[in-house]
Structure 1
Amino acid sequence: ARTPLPAPRRPGGATVVALRSEPWLERAAALAGELARDRQVVVERAEQVLWDLRLSRSAYWSEEAALLALLTLVHGDRADSAAEWCERLTLDAAERATPTWQAVFQAVRATIAVYQGDLAAAVEQGHLALDLLPAKSWGVAIGLPLSSLVVATTRMGRYDDALRHLSQAVPAAMYESWYGLPFLQARGIHHLATHHHRAALRDFLSCGELQRQWGVQDLGPLPWRAGAAEACIQLGNTDRAKQLVHEQLSRSGAGGGRARGLALRLYAATCAPGRGLQLLNEALELLESAGDRFEQARVLGDMSRLYGEVGEQRRARMLFRQSLHVAKACGAQPLTQELLAGSTDAGTERQPLLPSHEGSVRELTGSEVRVASLAVMGYTNREIAARLYVTPSTVEQHLTRVYRKLNIQRRQDLPSFLWPNASKAG
């Protein structure tokens, strides 16, 4: 009889390397290798697979192929596309009365929400997946919904809920399957958040060791080195952290995407402020492109701190406000508290604009939005002029019109929700 979920596991007393003979792991390894070599080609191929596949097909691997293609899009920084496909596939599964695959696709939606920083949605989708299919029916695949629930509740500050999910009974074979990797990574994230840094390091290194045993250490899509590097920084071992970050950045295909953005942020933490700001600017662009708002908030907070260290207090304050705005939008309460505790600007937090003022933003011209976005990022009029190839006088005129349309009096009152346009402004 057909198993309801792909469940690569070690047969009998064989070594864990035997996993490499399983179709699911073989496909996952091939996919990871292709992602590392040519991200654009493989994500396009994944979308083509989803277009070609129909859940009504009787082929053994049709649903598994759909799941693998979805995860390809997620790890290929195409979360928006993956979310659209998940919704479509979930509806198809509902029409075919296949609750198992309804649950699986809901679990993938939870994973996507975590990657996008929509923590409340991740919790909702994760619980829905477990409502559709009881935990005992998931087998080794229980690691998929549990990992999203652990990360989301941890980042929301709901540590008791996260611990409850971590305490969920899981099959021992889960740790010998692909589904064990996101679960170990999620547990490592929880350990980091609760200051159990050595335990976190063990979990992240375990992810790497499993992939080494499977022969995909340098190709696996989960950036375990970034988590391990963060744990090392917290333990005061910056040399080991640098080594891990350099390994991540030197990987084949590490020239773009979310994983590189995570590594650059941690690399910046080991550098002097000037070099650190260069790295953080690149990290911010990559994370904006990937759509990871939670990690964007962390980068913005780090940039604020470094600008403060080099004496650029005005830009530091603006970046602090932006990081706070994004962290709150994610529902990341611990990160919000961390930002407030580390900023000298915490007592001057700006009140949100009235809805009528938010509507006024739509009245801004494209040029006004570009100028205002760079002003929100803390650039001076002269710097904005240089980036946009206009005169400082033109910048000043644009800002004057922006202030009038938004009914504000000064640069510091510009709404922080303009900041997502900044990377496209120059």
Structure 2
Amino acid sequence: MPLVGRSTELEQWARLRAAATAGAGSVWFITGMAGVGKTSLLRAIRDDATSEGWTVLAATGNPAGGPDQAWGILTRIFVRLATRIPAGSEPFDGPGTSISDLVLGKVVPTSGIPVALTWTIETLAAAGPTLLVIDDAHWGDAASLQAIASAISSLTDQRVVVVIAARAGELPPEFEPLIGRPGTSFSELTALSRPDIAEWLRATDFAKFSEEEVGRVAAVTGGLPLLIAPLVHDPAVMETLLNPDGTPRTPTAPGQLLAIGRQYLAGFPQFLPVLAAVAVLDSFATSANVATVLEIAPHAAAELIAEATRLDLLDGADGVSVAAHPLLAEVVLENADLTAPIYLKAALALGDQASVEQVGAWLIATPAQQDPRVLPLLLSAIERSITFGFERTARELVERARLEPPTSDEDTHRLKILDGKSLVLAGDVEGAVRAWRAAMAGADASQVLDIQMDIGDAYYASGQTELAREAFLDTLAMLEDDSIRLSLGHRRLAIARLAAVAWLVGEGKPLEESEIEAILAQDESLDGLGERALLSHAALELTILGRDAPRAAHLARRAAHNLAIVSEDGIDGPVLSMLTGALNGAECDDEALALMTEALRRARISGSVMAYGTMSYCRAYVHMNRGRLRRARQDAEAALRTHRDYGWGAYLAAAKLVLARVALAQGDLDAAKAAVADLDVYSDAMRSEALPQMMALHAVGLVAQGEGDHERAFEYLRAATEITNEYCPGPTYGLPPLALVRSAVVLGHRELASDVAAQAIERARTFGAPRTLGRTLVMASAAYPQDEAIVLLREGIRLLELHEGRLELGEGRVRLAHHLAELGGDAQVAEAIALARGGIIEAERIGSIPVAQRARTLLADLGERHPTERVNDPVASLTASEVRVCELAAKGMTNRQIAAELYVTVKAVEWHLWRAYPKLGIKSRRDLPLLLSSLVAD
């Protein structure tokens, strides 16, 4: 078929091709009505790009699939590359591994697909100009189209041209925001004019057609190449384009083109089954598979395909057939009686070739069967849809599965469980709980226990911690029933999960020591999720109660070994939160940061709101304890943004507390006030959860102190201290008493301050965590007479110097300097001056303006010239992402290695470095190692 009437579009392609070769990529949207020649134009573009040595990737939407057939377009784009190039090799290295895994049927985190797709295309473009063509995008699956839309918006500075074609008025909504952006263009194909048609006919055999006949062809075809092509071969086709009275049908009118297609295919009844098989099978439409689903001999299928291809009913490449035009596929797919048996046969016979989700899509299109093989296939498809986060598809598959007769008690139970999980995915937690409770009938003890934990996890993930606690209490009741026989792993995991939520609401119960000793006695290689969960709980229990920090550290480190917990329990479960809390409390900073950073990386890939918010706030606490204020603030603000934008709220009070603490330490009272502005510390919701209420009271009390309102601060901090003493007396989490000491001293409650301070110090010494003790000694010193305070401060400073507690270290030096200056001796004043100057350096290094200012004031009172105001540390102006990228670049990693480590695109790394260099006052990455110590320090 000659390509006529498309000179404008071919010139546009030539311009885009030249620009991409020079490094300027583009996106080109082409629309037009069915039959107008979009596919022919795209074929010409692909052929030209291939002849120029470009890498060409292509996929076509399938009317048998549609928006719910997960990853159909992406699979078609990359299937040939993925089967030829192993994962781990370019372009399927780094994040690109997810594309290879996805295409080959593995489960991957779906929200990371856009980054993986961008990485893969960037890699191909780095090797040479690349063309990506998507035809019939209106039939593309929503998951693929969203990923492609996200990826291509960042490819305009790559050697890439993306061409997307769809029917007029049916461009997928995923692409609409891209129209009009720089680097994008839009073309609307129109029907061929009469001169175009004459040129076409002249190029074939114009002698057959008079001028009058050319006009007639133009009238009856509407200028649509789809209809002109068969007329060239067989003028008798003209009759199918006419009404009974001989007038043209006006094929461009709504619905007429399909009607014409039906009439046209009515002349080829013997080919309808093979056309239907090809339409249903799509990318699996090999001759052998067509024979299988039609239950005919292979040679018969091959002959039918060959003859249909000769008649321009089919087309194909690489042994896979396709309808010569999507209209033909649409027509045969209308016939459910014809296609339903094919869908079923494809699902049952081609499961070893097709993905689980493809099999599920085939089965959705079938009526209920009596075949016992169908339900297990549907159950597998439901599980995959849930894993990928496709709630609509999961619900459709569940409803389809309910139509099947039970095949076994196991499958019936499994369907009920998956029904609940799909409802959780859809946001209907109560519906899920109803489904799961119904599944308990007839279930054995182990299954009931699993259901109870699913219920608890669902409530926990949705922020309903009180209901989660009740669910886990029901689990515990089962564990205490000696008549119920459960595996040791089941028992340990259930106890640990109950404990995680119970501590959150202030109802924690200590574990039996024998449980832990039994785990410690076994080889560490035998530890599984249940063991790690119990070790995490035991370590957290020790830190909360303030008992034996070295043992807590030992248990927590064993639980965190090789970061296995992240894979075993995922990043959304309560065990991870328990373990990070234990590591933090036991001062295992390196292990805690490694675990949290890996969890955050996975949260970015998977899109987990729960994990991202929780791990951001947890990491903020570690940075705060170390005195790395800027990083602590960045993480705390990230957690609160997750709350604001996505509704995360599991540890909202804790995140607000850490942000308030950081902001006050930096002298930013307005930010601290904003952090606690909406905390209703005596609401019913707060009263029901002891630890969140304690943290909320602590936060508003600190802000009141910052405002100078010590009476109000005393009220809040005393209430927080009472909760602390009852539920978490350990010094790691028992910070309200130390804050209470300050307001009590200011208000003249010396006896109370002394009692609270003495108890805090005793608890810190008993616990045995050096940084915690150092912090306690510094903060509690305010309640003691000067001579005792000096002794406490010297001990605290020594501990904080050795165990990185920079905020309290600076505070301790300035407090000690004040006391020594008041003593007035020459030696004491000299030491006070040295301490004040050291305090200024430490405070300014971490950004603690109030501490630095108090030290400057002291020096001025002593008549000393103090250091000139420090110029703002350039590192302070970097965003969290810029810091991460610069750290890795300073270690000598390439941009590509950094991108793979952080699971971002190479372009994102380049962008962060480009923004960071001016802030740091450098011109290239060669200067970064000189700043590495500063970056690592903060």
User: Same fold judged by TM-score > 0.5?
Assistant: yes
**Partner SS state of residue 201, structure 1:** helix
Question: For the residues of structure 2 that align with 1:53 and 1:202, how far apart are their CA atoms?
Answer: 44
C-alpha contact 1:154 1:162 (8 A) present in aligned 2 = yes
1:229 Cα deviation (Å)? 1.2
- Does 2:484 align with 1:8? no
Deviation of 1:205 after TM superposition, in Å, equals 2.0
Per-residue CA shift, 1:151-171, capped at 9, x if unaligned? 111222221221111113667
Aligned residue number for residue 160 of structure 1:
670
Superposed CA offset, 1:291-334 (max 9, x none): 22111111000111222233122111110100111111121222
Contact 1:141–1:179 (CA under 8 A) maintained in structure 2: yes
Distance 1:271 1:168 in 2: 36
Asked whether 1:227 is paired with 2:684, we answer no
Q: For residues 125-152 of structure 1, give each alpha carbon's deviation from its aligned partner in whole angstroms, at most 9, with x where no partner exists.
A: 1222233443672335211321121111
Map of 1:313 onto structure 2: 829
Tell me by how many angstroms 1:11 deviates: 9.7
Among candidates 639, 642, 659, match of residue 129 of structure 1: 639
SS of the residue corresponding to residue 104 of structure 1 reads: helix
**Counterpart among 575, 586, 597 of residue 65 in structure 1:** 575
Deviations 1:385-413 (A, max 9, x none): xxxxxxxxxxxxxxxxxxxxxxxxxxxxx
- 3-state DSSP of counterpart to 1:253: helix
Equivalent residue of 1:230, what SS? helix
Corresponding position: 1:239 with 2:751: yes
Decide whether aligned partners of structure 1 residues 54 and 75 sit closer, same or farther in structure 2, where only a CA change above 3 A counts: closer
> What SS does the aligned partner of 2:818 have?
helix
Please tell me whether the aligned partners of residues 182 and 222 of structure 1 are also in contact (alpha carbons under 8 angstroms).
no
Matches within 5 A, 1:171-250: 172-177=684-689, 178-212=691-725, 214=727, 216-217=728-729, 221-250=733-762
| 2:865 aligned with 1:348 | yes
**Change over 3 Å in CA distance of 1:287–1:347 after alignment to 2:** same
Provide the residue aligned with 2:658 in structure 1: 148
d(CA) in 2 for partners of 1:62, 1:41: 26
Q: Deviations over 1:37-76 (max 9, x none)?
A: 21111122122222364434358x9731111111112222
Does residue 253 of structure 1 match 2:766? Answer: yes
Task: Say if 2:679 and 2:696, in contact at 8 Å, map to a contact too.
Answer: no
Q: How far apart are residue 172 of structure 1 and its match?
A: 4.6
Please give the alpha-carbon distance, in whole angstroms, between the structure 1 residues aligned to 2:834 and 2:729.
40
Kept in 2, the 8 Å contact 1:7–1:141? The answer is no
Contact 1:340–1:346, Cα closer than 8 Å, also in 2: no
1:103–1:130 CA contact under 8 A, matched in 2: yes
Q: Is the 8 A contact 2:593 2:622 kept in 1?
A: yes
Q: Name 1:55's counterpart in structure 2.
A: 566
Aligned to 1:43: 553
Name the CA distance, whole Å, in 2 between partners of 1:269 and 1:93: 42
What's the secondary structure of 2:607's corresponding residue? coil
Residues 206/259 of structure 1: CA separation in 2 closer, same or farther (3 Å cut): farther
Counterpart amino acid of residue 164 in structure 1: A
Counterpart of 1:184 in structure 2: which amino acid? L
For residues 89-108 of structure 1, the C-alpha deviation after alignment (integer angstroms, 9 at most, x for no partner) is: 21122233323202211111
8 Å contact from structure 2 (residues 609, 642) kept in 1: yes
- Judged with a 3 Å threshold, the aligned counterparts in structure 2 of structure 1 residues 192 and 287 are, in CA distance, closer, same or farther, namely farther
Q: In 2 relative to 1, CA 62–92 (structure 1 residues): closer, same or farther, beyond 3 Å? A: same
- Are 1:261 and 1:284, in contact at CA under 8 Å, matched by a contact in 2? yes
Larger radius of gyration between Structure 1 and Structure 2: 2
SS at match of 1:87: helix
Secondary structure class of the residue paired with 2:465 = coil
- Are the counterparts in 1 of residues 586 and 769 from structure 2 also a CA contact under 8 Å? no
Q: What one-letter code is carried by the residue in structure 1 that aligns with 2:634?
A: E
Q: TM-score, normalised by structure 1?
A: 0.71
Partner amino acid, structure 2, of 1:210: I
Q: 1:154 to 1:100 in 2, by over 3 A?
A: same
Alignment of 1:23 with 2:499, yes or no, is yes
The Cα shift of 1:189 comes to 1.9
Shift of 1:249: 2.1
Deviations 1:203-245 (A, max 9, x none): 222223224554x446873232211111111112221111101
| Count of aligned pairs | 346
Distance in 2 separating the partners of 1:353 and 1:126 = 26
1:9 partner letter: E
Call closer, same or farther: CA 1:298–1:218 in 2, change over 3 Å. closer
Partner residue of 1:263 out of 773, 776, 799: 776
Q: What RMSD in Å do the two structures reach over aligned CA positions?
A: 3.3
Which stretches in structure 2 are left out of the alignment for 5+ residues?
1-428, 430-457, 470-496, 511-538, 872-932, 934-938
Which range moves more in the overlay, 324-333 or 200-209? 200-209
Q: Unaligned 5+ residue runs, structure 1? A: 13-20, 355-416, 418-426
Deviates more, 1:115-124 or 1:28-37: 28-37
The 3-state SS of whatever aligns with 2:766 is: coil
Q: CA 1:58–1:297 in structure 2 vs 1: closer, same or farther (change >3 Å)? A: closer
Q: Displacement of 1:5 after TM fit?
A: 5.6
Cα distance in 1 between the residues matched to 2:751 and 2:775: 18
More helix per residue: 1
Cα distance in 2 between the residues matched to 1:319 and 1:105: 36
Counterparts of 2:583 and 2:640, CA distance in 1: 23
Instruction: Decide which moves more: 168-177 or 225-234.
Output: 168-177
CA distance in 2 between partners of 1:271 and 1:8 (Å): 41
1:34 equivalent in structure 2: 542
Deviation string, structure 1 residues 346-385 (Cα, Å, up to 9, x no partner) = 751135999xxxxxxxxxxxxxxxxxxxxxxxxxxxxxxx
In the superposition, relative to structure 1, how do residues 213 and 226 fare at CA in structure 2: closer, same or farther (>3 Å)? closer
The DSSP-based 3-state class of the residue aligned with 1:139 is coil
Asked if structure 2 preserves the Cα contact closer than 8 Å seen for 1:46 and 1:73, the reply is yes
Q: Is the 8 A contact 2:666 2:849 kept in 1?
A: yes
Aligned to 1:387: none
Task: Give the number of the structure whose residues are more often strand, by fraction.
Answer: 2
Report the residue type matching 2:500 in the other structure: W
Confirm or deny that 1:291 pairs with 2:804: yes
User: Measured at CA, do residues 331 and 352 of structure 1 come closer, stay the same or move farther in structure 2, by a change above 3 Å?
Assistant: closer
- 1:107–1:145 CA contact under 8 A, matched in 2: yes
1: distance between equivalents of 2:639 and 2:790? Answer: 41
* Worse-superposed segment, 65-74 or 286-295: 286-295
Number of the residue aligned with 1:84: 594
| 1:340 to partner: Cα distance | 2.0
Change (3 A) 1:172 1:303: same
- Partners of 2:636 and 2:551 in 1: CA distance: 30
- Say whether the 8 Å CA contact 1:10–1:173 is kept in structure 2: no
Question: Does structure 1 conserve the Cα–Cα contact (< 8 Å) formed by 2:587 and 2:769?
Answer: no
- Given that 1:211 and 1:220 are in contact with CA atoms closer than 8 Å, whether structure 2 keeps it comes out as no
TM-score (norm 2): 0.34
Structure 2 counterpart of 1:116, from 626, 632, 641: 626
Whether the 8 Å contact between 1:49 and 1:69 is mirrored in structure 2 is: yes
Aligned partners of 1:124 and 1:336: how far apart in 2? 21
Distance 1:62 1:253, change over 3 A: farther
Name the CA shift for 1:10/1:286 in 2 (closer, same or farther; >3 Å).
Answer: farther
Contact persistence 2:724–2:734 (CA under 8 A): no
Equivalent pair of 1:119/1:330 in contact (CA under 8 Å): yes
CA distance in 2, matches of 1:180, 1:294: 25
Q: 1:179 aligns to what SS in structure 2? A: helix
Query: CA 1:314 to 1:222, structure 2 compared with 1: closer, same or farther past 3 Å?
Result: same
